[in-house]
């Protein structure tokens, strides 16, 4: 199916009217708001959000300015009787209840009267290869959805629960920004009418969080997962180990976490995730259709492991803990068989904890392990990953090593002319693209950004947006591109507010590159659509960089639970 250009016409306010249903129960805050709005005659108002105002831009949008759905205290959510679909419906209700104050009952059968309902329909399952029964759903694929909004109902149809989940994320963005409020708000909960047909350009859309340079609590990681899900990103790569700290418990090598985890950049205490902590992250992510990609960085970036187990060092002497920000000095001994026991034990335990298909072995900046010794190590590590049943991912420094079936290279270069990577792709590798000078979220926005790096240049929102993952690396065909990922290294990042400040608003830019058809790529349109997210983040208490490139609404208020980076820069 060819992708159609985005259309987002302004609804005609004179035709947008429709009746607000009267609540059948004791009126609540939202009902009162709807009644008040009706009394004031603003049924005639167009919904505040236009159907095309979605980030990432949907593949196809057909607005129906004559139709507006208004959520009331009587709205119910109906869903196909299927555990995964039910989970999405409950997620939708959880998203809408705090701000609306509506009960929004969820019923997992489809026989209820459709009027006034939001219906999530699972049209088929890829496992059964059942023929799709509803409209265009046959073309929706593994993550696509169709959303129909009429005056009387809202329908999301998808072939998979992931597709339903993405339909729900779109729905959320189509409601007024007040929907992000943690407490009831009196507004008219209008949804713009029309149809959206949507599915992603790339199957892998991700972000990376470095929890090794600074350690972040489980709750912080869960919140980052929420941010990803909002923008239809489906992978969180966790950089779990580095010189400054080892962050995941490994039963067979317990000192990795207890000793190797007790440091971080600067003077902080560090920390590590227990296996239960990690399982919590896995389950929060999977409920949001996000796959965790654990990285154990090898053979370099391993000082913390050597502190815990000096037998892994070439000289068998424990180095002191490292809390600086240099790279490239440490390595596990590639000439000692015990190192491969360590690699197999660690990767085996991490694989067993991880339901997703990927296992990332790093491979970057191992400056002390060169040439054939390096490629020999990588080739053994690639086999060890395969022995765990996972597919190997590594930074593009793995490229010179022999191809291994299914392997994926994560390209983080700044010069797109990279014959070594292109050659690895010719030998069968697929690519995740993370150009340092476009997708690195630890780069400063501008010279005066108080945290972040600039070795790959300054990355303002436009620079994060204006490139094409499908054609970026010379001589790598789009078909070899699995997707895009935005890494956040945390040498200078010490709090959740810092994380959010660097993520937003660049993460949605990367998300659009991963999801939207190339025909939708349009900086002018993107910055307009993105502007509407400022009030959403403010209302939800999420920190973001108020980049001057984005025409934020004038009424953007400082949120109550505002958490700015230490030297308050969010107003830049």
Residues 86-145 that bind ligand TNX (CB under 6 A): none
SS3 (DSSP) at 294: strand
Query: Least distance in Å: CB of 212 to ligand TNX?
Result: 9
Query: Least distance in Å: CB of 6 to ligand TNX?
Result: 33
The Cα 376–Cα 385 span in angstroms is 14
Residue among 476 and 502 whose Cβ is closer to ligand TNX: 502
Parallel, antiparallel, or unpaired for β 153-158 and 117-122? parallel
Render 246-293 in DSSP notation, one character per residue: E-B--TTSTHHHHTTTS--STT-----B-HHHHHHHHHHHHHTT-EEE
Binding mask 404-433 for ligand TNX (x = CB under 6 A): --------x---------------------
Residue among 169 and 437 whose Cβ is closer to ligand TNX: 437
Query: Least distance in Å: CB of 395 to ligand TNX?
Result: 5
Q: What are phi and psi of 564, to 5 degrees?
A: -90, 155
Query: Least distance in Å: CB of 440 to ligand TNX?
Result: 6
465 scored as a contact of ligand TNX (CB under 6 A): no
Per residue in 385-405, is it b (16+ CB within 10 Å) or e — as a string?
bbebebbbbbbbbbbebebbe
SS3 (DSSP) at 99: helix
Count CB atoms within 10 A of the CB of residue 114: 16
Residue among 377 and 440 whose Cβ is closer to ligand TNX: 440
The residues near 370 (Cβ < 8 Å, ≥ 6 apart) are none
Q: Which of 153, 220, 345, 365 binds ligand TNX (CB under 6 A)?
A: 365
Residue among 181 and 434 whose Cβ is closer to ligand TNX: 434
Q: Around 302, how many Cα atoms within 13 Å sit in the side-chain half-sphere?
A: 31
Q: Which of 327, 373, 386, 564 binds ligand TNX (CB under 6 A)?
A: 327
The Cα 554–Cα 567 span in angstroms is 24
Residues catalogued as catalytic? 365
Residue among 180 and 442 whose Cβ is closer to ligand TNX: 442
Least Cα distance to 410 among 380, 386, 440, 387 occurs for: 440
Query: Least distance in Å: CB of 490 to ligand TNX?
Result: 8
The residues near 271 (Cβ < 8 Å, ≥ 6 apart) are 215, 217, 245, 247, 261, 262, 264
Residue among 465 and 489 whose Cβ is closer to ligand TNX: 489
Query: Least distance in Å: CB of 266 to ligand TNX?
Result: 15
The Cα 548–Cα 364 span in angstroms is 35
364 scored as a contact of ligand TNX (CB under 6 A): yes
Prior bond to 56 cis, omega within 30? Answer: yes
Query: Least distance in Å: CB of 414 to ligand TNX?
Result: 10
Residue among 102 and 440 whose Cβ is closer to ligand TNX: 440
Render 431-455 in DSSP notation, one character per residue: EEE--HHHH-TTB-SSTT-SSSB-T
489 scored as a contact of ligand TNX (CB under 6 A): yes
Q: What are phi and psi of 342, to 5 degrees?
A: -60, -50
SS3 (DSSP) at 470: coil
460 scored as a contact of ligand TNX (CB under 6 A): no
Query: Least distance in Å: CB of 213 to ligand TNX?
Result: 6
User: Environment class of residue 167 by beta-carbon count within 10 Å: exposed (0-12), middle (13-18) or buried (19+)?
Assistant: buried
Write out the two tokens for 54: 């979605």
Residue among 404 and 440 whose Cβ is closer to ligand TNX: 440
442 scored as a contact of ligand TNX (CB under 6 A): yes
The Cα 234–Cα 225 span in angstroms is 9
Residue among 467 and 489 whose Cβ is closer to ligand TNX: 489
The residues near 268 (Cβ < 8 Å, ≥ 6 apart) are 214, 215, 494
Residue among 102 and 358 whose Cβ is closer to ligand TNX: 358
395 scored as a contact of ligand TNX (CB under 6 A): yes
Could you list the beta-strand ranges (E) of 150-246.
153-158, 189-198, 204-210, 235-239, 241-242, 245-246
475 scored as a contact of ligand TNX (CB under 6 A): no
Query: Least distance in Å: CB of 485 to ligand TNX?
Result: 11
Query: Least distance in Å: CB of 58 to ligand TNX?
Result: 32
The Cα 476–Cα 474 span in angstroms is 6
Please tell me the count of residues contacting ligand TNX according to CB under 6 A. Answer: 10
**Contact residues: ligand TNX, CB under 6 A:** 327, 364-365, 395, 412, 440, 442, 453, 489, 491
């Amino acid at each position: 199916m060819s992708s159609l250009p985005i259309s987002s016409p302004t609804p005609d306010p004179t035709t947008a009217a429709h009746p607000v249903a009267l609540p059948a129960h004791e009126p609540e805050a939202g009902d009162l708001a709807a009644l008040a709005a009706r009394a004031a005659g603003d049924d005639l108002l167009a919904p505040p959000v236009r159907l095309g105002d979605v980030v990432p831009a949907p593949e196809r949008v057909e607005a129906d300015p004559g139709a507006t759905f208004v959520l009331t205290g009587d709205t119910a959510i109906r869903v196909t009787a299927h555990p995964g679909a039910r989970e999405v419906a409950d997620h939708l209700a959880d998203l809408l209840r705090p701000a609306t104050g509506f009960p929004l009952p969820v019923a997992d059968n489809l026989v209820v009267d459709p009027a006034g309902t939001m219906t999530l329909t699972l049209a088929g399952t890829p496992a059964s290869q059942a023929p799709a029964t509803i409209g265009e759903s046959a073309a929706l694929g593994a993550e696509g959805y169709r959303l129909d909004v009429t005056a009387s109902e809202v329908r999301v149809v998808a072939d998979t629960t992931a597709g339903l989940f993405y339909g729900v994320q779109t729905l959320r963005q189509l409601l007024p920004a007040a929907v992000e409020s943690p407490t009831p708000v009196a507004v008219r909960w209008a949804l713009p009418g029309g149809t959206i047909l949507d599915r992603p350009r790339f199957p892998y859309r991700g972000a990376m969080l470095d929890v090794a340079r600074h350690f972040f609590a489980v709750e912080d990681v869960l919140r980052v997962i929420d941010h990803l899900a909002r923008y239809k990103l489906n992978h969180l790569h966790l950089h779990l180990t580095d010189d400054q700290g080892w962050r995941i418990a490994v039963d067979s090598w317990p000192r990795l976490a207890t000793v190797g985890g007790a440091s971080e950049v600067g003077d902080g205490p560090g920390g590590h995730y227990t296996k239960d902590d990690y399982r919590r992250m896995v389950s929060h992510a999977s409920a949001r259709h996000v796959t965790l990609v654990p990285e154990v960085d090898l053979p370099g970036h391993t000082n913390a492991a050597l502190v815990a187990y000096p037998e892994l060092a070439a000289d068998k002497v424990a180095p002191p803990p490292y809390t600086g920000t240099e790279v490239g000095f440490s390595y596990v001994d590639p000439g000692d068989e015990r190192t491969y026991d360590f690699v197999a034990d660690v990767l085996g335990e991490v694989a067993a904890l991880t339901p997703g298909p990927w296992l990332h072995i790093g491979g970057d900046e191992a400056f002390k392990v060169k040439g054939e010794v390096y490629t020999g190590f990588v080739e053994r590590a690639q086999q060890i990953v395969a022995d765990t049943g996972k597919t190997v991912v590594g930074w593009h420094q793995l490229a010179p090593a022999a191809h291994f079936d299914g392997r994926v290279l994560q390209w983080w270069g700044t010069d797109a002319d990279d014959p070594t990577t292109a050659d690895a792709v010719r030998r069968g590798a697929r690519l995740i693209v993370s150009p340092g000078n476009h997708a690195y979220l630890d780069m400063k926005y501008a010279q005066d950004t108080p945290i972040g790096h600039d070795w790959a240049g300054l990355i303002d929102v436009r620079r994060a947006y204006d490139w094409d993952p499908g054609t970026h690396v010379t001589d790598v065909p789009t078909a070899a591109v699995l997707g895009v990922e935005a890494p956040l290294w945390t040498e200078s990042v010490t709090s959740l507010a810092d994380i959010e400040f660097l993520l937003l608003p660049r993460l949605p830019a990367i998300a659009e590159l991963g999801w939207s058809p190339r025909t939708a790529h349009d900086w002018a349109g993107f910055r307009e659509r993105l502007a509407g997210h400022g009030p959403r983040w403010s209302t939800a208490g999420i920190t973001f960089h108020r980049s001057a490139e984005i025409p934020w609404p004038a009424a953007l208020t400082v949120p109550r639970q505002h958490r700015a980076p230490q030297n308050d820069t969010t107003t830049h």
